[in-house]
Amino acid sequence: MKQNLEKIMVFTEVPQYNWIVGATSYKDDFYSSLDSVRFIFAIILLLSLVVIIFVTQWISGSLVSHINLLKDKLTHGGCW
């Protein structure tokens, strides 16, 4: 049993029954699920950045090779 741990409590009123309904949870339990979501988000963000870097390198390499090809053609008389 958990002792001396902080709890979170939320409650709301159900007017048609004249009830007040509440729920409690330990902060550690509540934030542990948030930590796992944060970890998954960080992994997805990191993988996305890696993919973006590789795609950017590929596109820029393709552009540079086409520009160099055009430059070589223009340097050697502009003949295609």
11 pLDDT above the threshold of 60: yes
Tokens describing residue 55: 């795609």
The H or E element containing residue 18 is none
Tokens describing residue 20: 């007040």
Tokens describing residue 54: 């590789």
Q: For the chain, give every domain's residue range.
A: 7-75
- The predicted model gives 20-29 an average pLDDT of 91
3-class DSSP state for residue 24?
strand
Most confident of 4-8, 17-21, 72-76: 17-21
pTM of the model: 0.55
Residue 56's pLDDT is what?
Answer: 97
Residue 54's pLDDT is what?
Answer: 97
Encode pLDDT of 25-70 as tens digits: 988 888 888 888 999 999 999 999 999 999 999 999 999 999 998 8
- For 27, residues 6+ apart whose C-beta sits below 8 A from its C-beta are 5, 6, 7, 8
